[in-house]
Structure 1
Amino acid sequence: MAALSLKIGVSDSDRTRPIASGEVAIEGVAAEVTLMGVQALFNQQLTEHTFDCCEFPLSSYLRSLERPERPYVAVPVFPSRHFRFSSVFVNTAKGIQKPADLAGKRIGVPVFDMAAAVWLRGIFQDHFGLSRTSPIYVAGGLEAARTGDEHPQFYPGHFKHEQRNDKSLAVLLAEGEIDALYTARAPSTWPSASVTRLFADPMQVELDYFSKTGIFPPMHVVAVKRKLAEANPGLTLAIFNAFAQAQKIARERLFDSAALCTMLPWQLESLLLTEQRLGKDYWPVGLAKNRATLQVIIRYMTEDGLIAKVASPEELFSGADILET
């Protein structure tokens, strides 16, 4: 039987390269893999739906489940996770020392529904005393003035929103026209005399958060076009197995100190420290190990007003062959 031809779009990371190179095969699939920068990948997939299987922004996937056709079905592997305390930047002249100081301030957000911003709004309300609706959120391009939304955005009415298309958010922050920035990528105006991180030692704050919650926040998921998944039983399980295997290979390469696979001189020590503090299974795959974390992001999306009803973690993978993982 001929292998199923599948166009796959993913970001370039140690978790995806084994699939892109063909080192890890997807059973029954002839894969054509494209590596792209995440924002370009998401913009293309959310507007043109180029790929049959794609690394997908978790928050956008949750929103897609409220469309009648539910165009995608997710696979419970998470190519990107990130503690985002290191991704909050402030103007040094504004006297902002802690998250609660952001009440009433103007916060730049390149994409309002990006997972980084969803997690930060929820975490700061749950753990740092900042109501998600108290700041003013300013939409715009991170490094260039925006001419329009790269993919369609929805701005819930119970938030205060502004749009700035004349300057980049990086420049607005440096010039003090916004007070802070939630971002997935550090602005070009940092580090500088006018721009610093909110948390001087974000790693310690992130470790404290993990010790309280056990959450290493997922940013992306792998999604397959639902019609393809339904027409090819076993496809989502094969994709799951391949991405899980690629992740194991990534970990093994970090452990191999014969020739470092990154430019980090203490690569192995960093891995060992991470596993000591977060546990050896700190990047879990499968529904069971991620259920509690997914319940939190679902709640945050609901409280933000980005989704209208509370879904269960099982609903994220409804139609996949892997609910028991």
Structure 2
Amino acid sequence: MTKLALSLACTQTDRAAPILDGRIAISGCDVIPLPGVTQTIFRQVLDDKAFDIAEMSMSSHLIQVDRGVRDYVALPIFLSRSFRHSAIYINANSGIKKPEDLRGCKFGVQQFQQTVGLWVRGMLADEYGIRSQDVTWMNGGLEAPGGGERLKLDLPEEISLTPIPATETLNGMLADGRLDALIATKPPSSFTSGDSRVARLFPDYQSAEKDYFRKTRAFPIMHCVVVRQSLVDQHPWLPAEVFKAFVRAKALALDEMKQVNILRLTLPWIAETFADVQNLMGGDIWNYGLKESRHEIEHMLRYAHGDGLTGRHLTPEEVFHPSTFSLSDKI
């Protein structure tokens, strides 16, 4: 059988690298590896339909599903997960000392639809009673002017979202107090440079995130994998084979963290750190599959509808390809 030549665009992480570098094969396929930056990949998928298989923002995919856009189908392969208490920054002179103080503040985001914001807003509502409509949202570039939403949004009237001035940055506006708070996937330069005007809302964010996991058992999902719909129509076996390959790649990455004869990662005590995380989160710290991650997906669907990103409350089965419903990431 002639193999399919398929492009694969995703971030070069330990759990994707074995497929990108050829150590793990997708059965029936020859992979054309295209490692890249996720924000660029997302826009190329949404605007140009540029890749056969790609890493994709979960929130943008939910918006597309809600709108009936079926250029790609999603697989429950979660290449990015991250706790996000660490992603909330505040102006130290704003009077904000605890999450409840965020009510009525001006809150910056690069994009309202980013999955990091989806989880932060949901967490603030669930844990602290701060709803999306309780603050004023402002979007724009973090370190350079510009930016904007990947997909045009039509938010409910009660949620206020306006762009920052075209010549300004979120980083600058947070530092000088024109923003009270900021959600960002990486620390703004004002914070990393030691500017005393900028701080984290949760200084001990690791403890906060561990407590959040103990309470909710949720490890926030950021990205999934999508496959071109036309390919799946022609080759119904493809989603399952892609899923199985990524499961094997993840297993290899997790196994390498346990090797102590020669450390595979450039970090002392990595095996001990991995064991500590397993003690908290369980044996498989990074689940793939609909069954294994249903509760986290249901959180996201509730948050997306509450934020007005989706016009109705989607079900998990609407989000992923049916052939993956029963697949497990247990090898």
Q: Is 1:210–2:209 an aligned residue pair?
A: no
Q: Is 1:262–2:261 an aligned residue pair?
A: no
Q: Which residue of 2 aligns with 1:247?
A: 250
Residue type of the alignment partner of 1:151: R
| 2:190 alignment partner, SS class | coil
- Offset, 1:152: 2.5
Inter-partner Cα distance in structure 2 for 1:115 and 1:150 = 12
- Offset, 1:243: 0.7
Residue type of the alignment partner of 2:186: R
Tell me if structure 2 keeps the 8 A contact 1:78–1:222. yes
| 2:30 alignment partner, SS class | strand
Inter-partner Cα distance in structure 1 for 2:279 and 2:217 = 13
Q: Which residue of 2 aligns with 1:279?
A: 282
- Offset, 1:200: 1.1
Residue type of the alignment partner of 1:154: L
Q: Which residue of 2 aligns with 1:321?
A: 323
- Offset, 1:174: 1.2
Q: Which residue of 1 aligns with 2:46?
A: 46
- Offset, 1:160: 1.2
Aligned counterpart in structure 2 of residue 220 of structure 1, from 219, 223, 231: 223
Q: Tell me whether 256-265 or 90-99 shows the greater mean CA deviation.
A: 256-265
- Offset, 1:280: 1.2
Q: 1:154 to 1:69 in 2, by over 3 A?
A: closer
Residue type of the alignment partner of 1:216: F
- Offset, 1:221: 0.3
What residue ranges of structure 1 are gaps of 5+ in the alignment?
none
Tell me if structure 2 keeps the 8 A contact 1:140–1:163. yes
Q: Which residue of 2 aligns with 1:151?
A: 150
Tell me if structure 2 keeps the 8 A contact 1:112–1:155. no
Tell me if structure 2 keeps the 8 A contact 1:113–1:153. no
Q: Which residue of 2 aligns with 1:174?
A: 175
Q: Which residue of 2 aligns with 1:131?
A: 131
- Offset, 1:263: 2.9
- Offset, 1:261: 3.0
Residue type of the alignment partner of 1:27: S
Q: Which residue of 1 aligns with 2:16?
A: 16
Q: Which residue of 1 aligns with 2:188?
A: 187
Tell me if structure 2 keeps the 8 A contact 1:64–1:71. no
| 1:154 alignment partner, SS class | coil
Provide, for residues 199-250 of structure 1, a one-character-per-residue CA deviation record: whole Å limited to 9, x for no partner.
Answer: 0111111111111111001000001111111110110000000111111111
| 1:78 alignment partner, SS class | strand
Q: Is 1:230–2:229 an aligned residue pair?
A: no
Q: Percent identity?
A: 34
Inter-partner Cα distance in structure 1 for 2:266 and 2:260 = 12
Residue type of the alignment partner of 1:185: K
Provide, for residues 249-277 of structure 1, a one-character-per-residue CA deviation record: whole Å limited to 9, x for no partner.
Answer: 11111111233333322212211111011
| 2:313 alignment partner, SS class | coil
Inter-partner Cα distance in structure 2 for 1:211 and 1:69 = 36
- Offset, 1:40: 1.6
Provide, for residues 55-101 of structure 1, a one-character-per-residue CA deviation record: whole Å limited to 9, x for no partner.
Answer: 00001111111233422111111000000001101111112111111
- Offset, 1:150: 6.2
Inter-partner Cα distance in structure 2 for 1:69 and 1:106 = 33
Provide, for residues 110-161 of structure 1, a one-character-per-residue CA deviation record: whole Å limited to 9, x for no partner.
Answer: 0111111011111111111212211111100011000x53622315132112
Inter-partner Cα distance in structure 2 for 1:131 and 1:310 = 17
Inter-partner Cα distance in structure 1 for 2:95 and 2:42 = 35
Question: RMSD over aligned Cα, in angstroms?
Answer: 1.3
Give structure 1 regions of 4+ aligned residues with deviation exceeding 4 angstroms.
Answer: none
Tell me if structure 2 keeps the 8 A contact 1:100–1:128. yes
Residue type of the alignment partner of 1:60: S
Q: Which residue of 2 aligns with 1:95?
A: 95
Q: Is 1:288–2:287 an aligned residue pair?
A: no
- Offset, 1:162: 2.1
Q: Tell me whether 283-292 or 148-157 shows the greater mean CA deviation.
A: 148-157
| 2:148 alignment partner, SS class | coil
Inter-partner Cα distance in structure 2 for 1:67 and 1:227 = 18
